Amino acid sequence: MESSQLTSATATELIDLLEGETVSSVEITQAFIQRIQAVDQKVHAFLHLDEEDMIKQAKSSDERRSQGKSLTRLDGIPVGLKDVISAEGQPLTAASKILENYVSPYDATVTRKLKEAGAVIGGRLNLDEFAMGSSTENSAYGPTRNPWNLDCVPGGSSGGSSAAVAAREIPLSLGSDTGGSIRQPASLCGVVGMKPTYGMVSRYGLAAFASSLDQIGPFAQTVEDAALLLEIISGHDPLDSTSYPSHVPSYSRELKAPLEPCKLGLPQEFFGEGMDEEVRKSIDLVIEFYKSKGFEMVELSLPSTDLSIPVYYVIATAEASSNLARYDGIRYTSRSEKASNAIDVYAKSRGEGFGEEVKRRCILGAYALSSGYYDAYYLRAQKTRTLIRQDFDQAFEQVDAILTPTSPTPAFRFGEKSDNPISMYLSDIYTISTNLAGLPGISVPCGFSQSGLPIGMQLIGQALNESKLLSIAHVYDQEHNYGRKAPSL
């Protein structure tokens, strides 16, 4: 088969080709490596690529398949990793200068599960430094560009993970989502991106940003592919104290089961001012589609929504300042050559190693946790977080899922919001509350702006009920396939 046919195929289609012995994993892997070599100089989704190791993994997969010993359906399929997820022997920079020479000595649990499934681990993907940002402009190694318009951002912080799938450089990838960092870039790049329920996917081996919010999840062209990847990486992990001991169903198989029409909630707080008109029109068409399928639309209220942004930026920055204290220039991080004493080592190494946004958030977080301010900020934010979760609990007494836009606008141009942190933070206004409540959310492509930029819709589900959420998303995705459309590079 032609390389372009392989790189444009979904993961499910590639699996069918492998099972039909039409192509080998080596051929698939080589096709994607060639694609990366051809277009990544424009997109800059990858920070590191070990081509020799990928081919070695693919050869092992082909040997297993020839002996009838394939490990899972994902055996032989390349998967890219956001550069905050550990893979033994591979660099882990978190897109920060402070970790520029760090090589991970172990596998994250999700990496181990992918290897046990036979997936070909394919490269390290760019991001906003330490996952702090909404545009991937904060990477110390240069921004990733949106494959649909190279003058626009891909979203963030998992911009490399979303852009790589959109540019057909990799069929599947993993990102992390702390306040929308999977769903927002998925929307801006026109791919499917999912944040699972907090605790469904182990965080062991993930470079922490905000431990009570972070969650690893999949990017793919289709909901079906995302479901397949999610079932591989989900499940209880004793190495993660927040991992939930629940049964993991076969999400991809359950997509094929008939789904009775459901009730979808339309929260009035998500449809007010600030939403781009083209986004509004696309979401209106999504609503009409679900109505045509027999779904009932229920208007409801999530009254604490307007508190999500301030609550998030207290909790997330507080946890970040604590988590990033380990990057001290003494153990595994880069050390300043200008340091003359122990205090210098700490202060100058962090001062030189961290970018402006990381410094901003660490300072904010340290202030919120400082003596005399803890109760006024962090404790109060946690109490308000409970109110946000209770809003969702009450909503799910009426509906099966909640439908909203993913991002208030299509992709914006580089530099458009980087000088105004508040404007940048508002890019995640529709996604943050889902993280605060620990709920699963998925972004599905639902159209394009007049200038050809992707638009995404978000579905929010009940905790630990990824199956129903994926099924509802699949109803739309299988009839529209916006994620199958590819940009011209």
Q: Using CA atoms, how far apart are residues 116 and 72, in angstroms rounded to an integer?
A: 9
Task: Kindly report whether the peptide bond that precedes residue 139 is cis, defined as omega within 30 degrees of 0.
Answer: no
Q: Provide the residue type at 338 as one letter.
A: K
Query: How many angstroms separate the Cα of 50 from the Cα of each of 74, 86, 99, 264, 380?
Result: 20, 15, 18, 44, 46
Axis crossing angle, helix 51-66 with helix 25-43, rounded to the nearest 10: 160
Whether 181 sits among the annotated catalytic residues: the reply is yes
- The Cα 175–Cα 229 span in angstroms is 12
Neighbouring-strand partners of residue 173: 80, 219
Determine whether 157 is an active site residue: yes
As to burial, measured by CB atoms within 10 angstroms (0-12 exposed, 13-18 middle, 19+ buried), residue 198 is buried
Q: How far is residue 429 from each of residues 8, 287, 312, measured CA to CA in Å?
A: 32, 20, 10
Marked catalytic residue, from 96, 181, 407, 433 = 181
42 is a catalytic site residue = no
Pairing relationship of beta strands 216-220 and 263-267 according to DSSP bridges: unpaired
Q: Look at residues 63, 69, 450, 79 and name the one whose alpha carbon lies nearest to residue 230.
A: 79
**Nearest by Cα to 465 from 440, 444, 443, 442:** 440
> What element of type H or E holds 299?
strand 296-300
Enumerate helices (H) and strands (E) in the chain, giving the number of each: 17, 11
Name the phi and psi angles at 416, rounded to 5: -65, -35
**How far apart are alpha carbons 380 and 398 in whole angstroms?**
29
Query: Of these residues, 25, 70, 82, 471, which one is catalytic?
Result: 82
Query: How does 448-472 read in b/e, with b if 16+ C-beta sit within 10 Å?
Result: bbeeebbbbbbbbbbbbbbbbbbbb
Q: Which residue in 157, 162, 243, 336 is the catalytic one?
A: 157
Q: Which residues are catalytic?
A: 82, 157, 181
